[in-house]
Amino acid sequence: MANSRRKMYFRMVTSSLIRRASRLIIAVLAIAIGATILSGLVTIYYDIPEQLGREFRSYGANLIVLPKGDAKITREILAELENIIGREKIVGIAPYRYQTVKINEQPYIIAGTDLPEAEKNSPFWYIEGTWANSDEPDHVMIGHEIAETLNLKLGDSFVVQGVKYGERAEASRQDYSAKENLQRDKASQNFNKKLFVKGIITTGGAEEGFIFADSNMLDELVGDIFRADVVECSVIADAQELENLSRVIEAKLSNLLPRAVRRLTQSQDIVLGKLQALVLLVTLIVLIITMISVYTTMMAMVAERRREIALKKALGAENNLIMGELLGEGVLLGFLGGAAGVFLGFEFAQRVSLNVFGRAIHFQVALIPITIAVFILITVLASILPVRKVMDIHPAIVLKGE
Amino acid sequence: MSKQILELKNVSKIYGSLKALADINLKVNAGDWLSIMGPSGSGKTTMINIIGCMDTPSTGSVILDGVDISRENASSLTRIRRDKIGLIFQQFHLISYLTAVENVMVAQYYHSMPDEAEAMEALEKVGLKDRARHLPAQLSGGEQQRVCIARALINSPEILLGDEPTGNLDEENEGIVVDIFRRLHDEGVTIIIVTHDPEVGDVAQRKIILEHGRVIQDIDQTSTFGQALKIHHE
Ligand SMILES: Nc1ncnc2c1ncn2[C@@H]1O[C@H](COP(=O)(O)OP(=O)(O)O)[C@@H](O)[C@H]1O
Ligand SMILES: [Mg+2]
């Protein structure tokens, strides 16, 4: 019984839209454009932190982990640290061992590290030549400052000397003969190695005063097992997440001292906040514009269908029945426009993301029902005033003969 | 003696200084077929709108099926119109995006329950069974008006009201529509038709002529006197 009324309701509402297709297309288009921009922006909004996080990783490590006191970081601790942070969040994780060596009797520091990881942490380094690697451990990178002082060019060699791990350094003594000194160097507590310049590093920072080499080579040189003085991590996380991460690390590995690089995380958060505020603002404006456009469309539709509305009244339809039909059409328009918009919006977001960040975006499935619901809601809201015009239509005046 | 279905008592409709209807008194019995004629601006449409619950009189009362509708509010008028009145218009007023049968079903929908089989039957009665799935734009004027008649009758109203229902039809279609009225009259339907076409006006059982909002003639066209008067007028 009531079912046949409901069927007739849908028959009227859908016929009105389907058989007035040109109207339908324009109205749906207006809503779909709004929904496209909206769902696109929301997708970007949710993807910005991650995209920007990756982007900010090009400014270097944002988490520095130091051992407490005189302790060193072993391979086991390093592996645990990696586990705690989570491999998928790590852009790069580079342990450093600092070793003082002498070149031409002048002290310098070799930083032994996992070179590929260090490279991931330091995309902004300018390298003349190429990054050193563990395949040719004798070929190392030197800071620009060292290259200047020692007048070293790519491919040049130099000799580093030093005292092995656990031995006391002893300066060559004036009162020993050169031969004696040489003998002492050859003795087991000293090391002496010829290295080649593979790359010259320019960063504008402290790195320019260091030599960067493969950590295994350095360990071997100093005759020690792996022991890092510091671990530099580049983690995809914002300030808050880094804070939390640091706390977890400290709790689980009590002999470590994690430090977020404030300068980086804070500027990341500021940029992020501003971008998200901008996206929200644009979204709000798009919603308002969509509502205005739905409002005018519905206004025009009610005006255009005055006769039909008057006729329905003449047939005995109550105002609220007719308003219900028009709102039903609005809901359907909102649904169609919203649904079209979700998919177009993802496409739109994908393009923006590829162009701006150079990365693909994640499709938020939850966005489908949410966008559709939002657009049904705003079409209904925007339709309320136009639909209320139904009450002002007098059948006798509109349907008058002649 | 059939029952009285409609009575207008001292009905006036006043627009500012203009009396569109002036003190109209009229009784209509169930099953009557009445034509309302008169020059343009004489108040025909105003009168039929008041009878059809689309308008209210300024003064006087209108008793429709025993109920005074002259003081009802808009919402009760809508309900009374839905239950007791079937309307046809000069410009048909079919819903353009609905088929013939759907247009008939719309009237059922607002009245009670849509029933496609019943709507088809109504179309069959006006000879449009095979055009039931056509949109109004695919129908001729005469066919459209026949759909309107089917729509007006689908809820078995007390009175069928038409304001110039043949005004937009050619002679052939006018004939078809008049034949339908004749048949409905034989079936006992009460019909009140406004027309300025004597061919349509004269087939009714009774004819009133308005001028300046007054009934200047009320002619019983079935009586010999009425026939004589008609002949006299010609
Ligand atoms: N809503 C209105 N406001 C003012 N005057 C009206 C209105 N409706 C009708 N009239 C006037 O009332 C008179 C009768 O109109 P109407 O009943 O439409 O005449 P008819 O249908 O006989 O041509 C006309 O003079 C017309 O101008
Ligand atoms: Mg008129």
ipTM of model: 0.93
The pair phi, psi for residue A102, each rounded to 5°, is: -120, 135
B3 and B32 Cβ atoms separated by less than 8 Å: no
Per-residue tens of pLDDT for chain A, all 402 residues: 578 899 999 999 999 888 887 877 888 888 888 888 888 888 878 877 777 777 777 777 889 999 988 888 999 999 999 999 998 889 899 999 999 999 999 999 999 999 999 998 888 889 999 999 889 999 999 999 999 999 999 999 999 999 888 776 555 555 556 666 565 555 578 898 999 999 999 988 888 999 999 999 999 999 999 999 999 999 888 888 888 999 999 999 888 999 888 777 778 788 888 888 888 898 889 889 989 988 998 898 899 999 999 999 999 999 999 999 999 999 998 999 999 988 888 888 888 888 887 778 877 788 889 989 999 999 999 999 999 999 999 999 998 755
Q: Is there a contact between A316 and B79 if contact means CB atoms under 8 Å apart?
A: yes
Nearest to A194 by CA among A253, A138, A251: A138
* A318 contact residues in B (CB cutoff 8 A): 75, 78
> Distance from A309 to chain B by nearest Cα, in Å?
9
Helical H segments across A69-214, by residue range: 75-85, 115-121, 144-150, 178-186
CB of B15 within 6 A of ligand 1: the answer is yes
> Distance from B228 to chain A by nearest Cα, in Å?
32
Give, in order, the Cα–Cα distances in Å from A284 to each of A38, A42, A291, B40: 9, 11, 11, 56
For chain A, which residues lie within 8 Å of any Cβ of chain B, measuring from their own Cβ? 1, 4-5, 7-9, 11-12, 15-16, 18-20, 307-308, 310-318, 321, 394-396, 399-402
Alpha-carbon span A40 to A358, nearest angstrom = 16
Alpha-carbon span A99 to A191, nearest angstrom = 12
Nearest to B106 among A12, A18, A310 (CB): A12
CB of B20 within 6 A of ligand 1: the answer is yes
Alpha-carbon span A400 to A266, nearest angstrom = 72
Ion ligand 2: residues, Cβ under 5 Å: A 401; B 45
Half-sphere exposure of A341 (CA within 13 A, CB side): 35
**By the CB < 8 Å criterion, does B15 face chain A?**
no
Residue B41 CA, chain-centre distance (Å), reads 18
Chain A residue with Cα closest to B89: A401
pTM score, whole prediction: 0.73
Instruction: Report the residue among B44, B46, B50 best suited for mutation to probe ligand 1: largest number of ligand atoms under 8 A from its CB.
Output: B46
**By the CB < 8 Å criterion, does B87 face chain A?**
yes
CB of B40 within 6 A of ligand 1: the answer is yes
CB of B21 within 6 A of ligand 1: the answer is no
Tokens 């995209």 identify what position? A51
Q: How far is the CA of B98 from the centre of ligand 1 (A)?
A: 32
CB of B167 within 6 A of ligand 1: the answer is no
Give, in order, the Cα–Cα distances in Å from A195 to each of A39, A168, B33: 57, 23, 120
**By the CB < 8 Å criterion, does B89 face chain A?**
yes
* B135 contact residues in A (CB cutoff 8 A): 19
* B75 contact residues in A (CB cutoff 8 A): 318
